[in-house]
Structure 1
Amino acid sequence: MSEPDFPQAILSLKNIHKTFGGIHALADVSFDLNKGEIHALVGENGAGKSTLIKIITGAYTPDAGVIQIGGEVYEGLTPTVARRLGIGAVYQEFNLLPDLSVAENIFLETPPLNKIGLIDTAKRARDAYTFLERLGAHTHIDTSELVKNLTVGEQQIVEIAKALAMNAHILIMDEPSAVLPSADLDRLFSIVKTLRSEGHGIIYISHRLNEIFEIADRVTVLKDGQTMATRVVAQTNSAELVRLMVGREMTDMYPPKDNQPADVLLEARDLCIEGTVFNVNFQVRACEVLGMAGLGGSGRTTVCRALVGLGKIRSGQVVYRGQPAPRSTAGAAAVGLVLIPEDRKTFGLVLNQSVRFNVSLPNLLQFQRGGLLRGQNENEAVRRVISDVQIRPEDPDMSAENLSGGNQQKVVVGKWLLANPKLVIFDEPTRGIDVGAKAEIYLRIRELTRNGVGVIMASSELPELIGICDRILVFHEGRVAGELVREDFSEESIMRLATATSGITAPAS
């Protein structure tokens, strides 16, 4: 074939097309990556980012278009060929074996061998140390430590080292910050910049636009499977990227509050959970959004799970609508107390089942008459949910595992909205979803409060807590460090309480 059109690029994709069942996932997409460049890839969920990455890594073959790498032109790759060409990827869900050591995981696919063909464990340990040293992690990650004993941030570093051990010079990082506590972000950014300085080309996928402006050189925007634009980061701004992503201006990300808190729905009294949460007290009212902030491991998610029966309450009491709260998830759901979980794939969905199945599962009693399931009632309800929360594609028979992250989250939200809840607990509701889907989630939360529903919202995204909540509880090491009312909201005030760097506690409302 002809010489590549982009000789300065280490990776070029030109006029890529990919169709699934008549749906165009990618239509005439072009993208290139230079040596020593961080090229961000952004777009709404379902825009085509995942499909494009799977084509680069060889998981999918394009229907049309070409891929150019190292002076060679390919009509498609396989995973083996992609790895041989120096393409590596670090995904949100790590591909590590927890019961093996750091060194064993780094060299899982490329172990060094001695003269008689056996694994050279001493060399493996030395080489693993060298890779960790390149990433600035050799002082706090022991190559002999089992991966299951590492923090999430440390496991991510092992994944990056593993890609480097396979001689990856093109590195794809898919939402790398989504799984990290805020304290690990600076370390991640430092590693990415180090790799860039070594000449690696990095494709950086993120829904957090502030990260793009922190570390990227260029940014490409995808929408509906098409390339909308490629910009030099220093020559664009958040407003332009959002407009390109969603096709409209996003001036009102957070819908205005137009109602007042009403009666107390739930009260926690001296709550102690599994030795990790201590003497927690709070109330949440109908028509209000109570935020929960705190660093990773502070206790906010533990509290959220315990409220719906997913944690052992050692002492204390939870009162729901004047009665002791149920201690099981089924009992909690039956009285309208529901959780939108942090990990939607593990706890919120049956991934290998359809949208219809997932939406219907907690609502089957609604569709029964005389002990028989009324298919027409079910179909109408599922279609209504798909329309109301704007699940795309609008196919009730689509498997949940084939949906984008944002649309998976909409399925989880939609199934519980259909159940007519009285109190909804959102744990990291916008993690890993795009700016347009975030705005839709915020709108649903505001609609819930207008209809008399109470909302608890636990999040590590401080701007969204400030934008949507009426009050914010801040957790630190299993205790409530303070409560903030709207006039006291700021990222600084939240972080002072979350890190226990201030002894001042805001007054409760």
Structure 2
Amino acid sequence: MISETGYSNNGDASKVTDLPVVAVSNVSKRFGIVQALNGVSANFYRGRITALVGENGAGKSTLMRIMEGEHRPDDGTIYVDGQAVSISSPREAHALGIRVIHQEPEIIPELTVAENIFVGDLRARYAVLIDREDLERRAQQMLDAFGVAGVLKPCEICRGLGPAQRQLIEIMRALRPGARLLAFDEPTSSLTEEEAVRLFALIRKLKSEGVSIIYISHRLREVMMIADSTITMRDGRSVGEAPMQELDEAKMVRLMVGRPISDLFQRRKRELGPVQVVLDRMSTDKISDISLSLRAGEILGLGGLVGAGRTEVARAIMGLDTVRSGSMVIAGKPYSPKNPADAIRAGIGLVPEDRRQEALLLLQAVRDNISLVVPDKVSRWGFFSWRKEAELVHHHVEGLRIKTPSINQAVGKLSGGNQQKVVFARWQARGPKILILDEPTRGIDIGAKAEIYRLIESLADEGMAVLLISSEMPELLGLSDRIVILRSGKLAGELHADVATEEQILDLAMRTTHKRAP
């Protein structure tokens, strides 16, 4: 029988008498030869936020699909209010109050906000027409109740809504009467910082009203900020459960991957080559008087708060934004790109912040995405060669250990980490002298991060000049040789990474005076 012991709502380890809203006991699931879940047990309590963390493939999504009724477990039992239940469809899960909000919201773009919230429950007037007055009144009540009336309007068509607004609709839909357990799967992956803050406020409101929350995220600092307790999964098993105050980021990483976070970085001294990039008082419409240099074999970190101008530096170098004043020199030659094609010809590559929107052709095959910028390497006597393309793509897929059924697999069906590896493979095939990385590990799990880190270090070892833009302090400090900090579109300071600290970086990012390390 499921234990009735858990943590109290304020996060301490005292006993509570409540039964879990939902509990899973010794749940296992196998897909062919893959053991996706192996004897997983977990309790989810009323008015508590439980984080579920682990690498891709750890079993988190499979557990959610079993709780939602998309898969049936091979072994084990699900309990709702202490009673064993059999859930064979999402409809049955919804009837029990279990709802999962997936990473990609399923919104019907031609319908209004109100219609999307109450899809499947569109009450009719005169048995024929939708009662729009009642529909919009109910939608407005929900928007008002959760403090998002200023963000969404009931009669608004959903086609032009952003990711955060679409996600709010999915949440409102899940919160229709009867919601008791709500699972969020990577909810902030496409949100701005302001939108994430609004989402956290909504989640805390749900908690205060007694809803049980499961929060799944690779962003461990978010987990530490919002969760009451954490369940860590690895290789289909639950390997640790603890109240949040007993954990820190390093302990969670160690549980997830079986090694300390310090092992993720292997920064070592490299022989630096000639200067590859010089920006001299460069200004665009978004940044002003930016001066920096980058040498072959060097990893230069670019830090600062959101909106400080880091991405805008990358856009200027790639020819995406017009340089209004100042100058750029690439590999010793004056450089004034008009578009990204000029940048690529000059030996520059970019891994952008939003790989799905700005880097990948999601419906195209892995082979097409990798060979995109190397037409000369996949042709013979001026004609495209399927054989040469396949050889080149297989080489990089194997070298970067990209997990894909075949090189003909649509890249949109790969995991986030493998999608990012495809973007790296594209540039590795091209062989640029300079590689700009804008948030290169955003939205990928800790195991894939470790592989990306090793790749970045190996590229620098081979003599590539790397400009690394990152909001993750351990990443910035662990990989960079030097760190340049921006604030409000201007240079705020520079630090040597071997002596820099998070506090120093934040201090420079939040003040206006320019300060350069000795």
TM-score, normalised by the number of residues in structure 1: 0.82
Residues 92-133 of structure 1: CA deviation (Å, up to 9, x unaligned): 434456787655554455456667765555555554454344
Are 2:67 and 2:87, in contact at CA under 8 Å, matched by a contact in 1?
no
Residues 5-25 of structure 1: CA deviation (Å, up to 9, x unaligned): 989333344555555565444
Residues 437-465 of structure 1: CA deviation (Å, up to 9, x unaligned): 22222222222222221111222223322
Residues 258-289 of structure 1: CA deviation (Å, up to 9, x unaligned): 1265433223455455x444554433332222
Deviation of 1:436 (Å)? 2.4
1:466 equivalenced with 2:477 (yes/no): yes
List alignment gaps of at least 5 residues for structure 1: none
Are 2:356 and 2:362, in contact at CA under 8 Å, matched by a contact in 1?
yes
The match for 1:76 is 88
User: Which of the numbers 355, 359, 363 marks the counterpart of 2:366?
Assistant: 355
CA RMSD of aligned residues (A): 3.8
Alignment of 1:469-488 (within 5 A): 469-477=480-488, 479-486=489-496
Deviation of 1:81 (Å)? 3.4
1:301 equivalenced with 2:311 (yes/no): yes
Moved more, 3-12 or 334-343: 3-12
The match for 1:36 is 47
User: Which of the numbers 170, 174, 182 marks the counterpart of 1:163?
Assistant: 174
Alignment of 1:212-231 (within 5 A): 212-231=223-242
Change (3 A) 1:394 1:149: closer
The match for 1:438 is 449
The match for 2:295 is 285
1:400 equivalenced with 2:411 (yes/no): yes
Deviation of 1:496 (Å)? 4.9
Are 1:43 and 1:245, in contact at CA under 8 Å, matched by a contact in 2?
yes
Are 1:181 and 1:295, in contact at CA under 8 Å, matched by a contact in 2?
no
The match for 1:503 is 512
User: Partners of 1:408 and 1:467 in 2: how far apart?
Assistant: 23
User: Partners of 2:433 and 2:296 in 1: how far apart?
Assistant: 8
Residues 241-274 of structure 1: CA deviation (Å, up to 9, x unaligned): 323322333333322241265433223455455x
1:201 equivalenced with 2:212 (yes/no): yes
Residues 174-212 of structure 1: CA deviation (Å, up to 9, x unaligned): 122333444555544343232222221111111223333
Are 1:16 and 1:64, in contact at CA under 8 Å, matched by a contact in 2?
yes
The match for 2:22 is 11
Are 1:88 and 1:171, in contact at CA under 8 Å, matched by a contact in 2?
yes
Partner of 1:204, secondary structure, is strand
User: Partners of 2:46 and 2:225 in 1: how far apart?
Assistant: 19
List alignment gaps of at least 5 residues for structure 2: 5-17
Are 1:386 and 1:394, in contact at CA under 8 Å, matched by a contact in 2?
no
Change (3 A) 1:53 1:352: farther
Quick one: which amino acid aligns to residue 503 of structure 1? T
Are 1:62 and 1:76, in contact at CA under 8 Å, matched by a contact in 2?
no
User: Partners of 1:61 and 1:285 in 2: how far apart?
Assistant: 55
Are 1:341 and 1:426, in contact at CA under 8 Å, matched by a contact in 2?
yes
User: Partners of 1:149 and 1:271 in 2: how far apart?
Assistant: 35
User: Partners of 1:111 and 1:171 in 2: how far apart?
Assistant: 23
TM-score, normalised by the number of residues in structure 2: 0.81
Residues 300-338 of structure 1: CA deviation (Å, up to 9, x unaligned): 324323433444556655432214254343443344311
User: Partners of 1:410 and 1:244 in 2: how far apart?
Assistant: 24
User: Partners of 1:324 and 1:340 in 2: how far apart?
Assistant: 20
User: Partners of 1:325 and 1:80 in 2: how far apart?
Assistant: 58
Are 2:303 and 2:485, in contact at CA under 8 Å, matched by a contact in 1?
yes
Alignment of 1:43-54 (within 5 A): 43-54=54-65
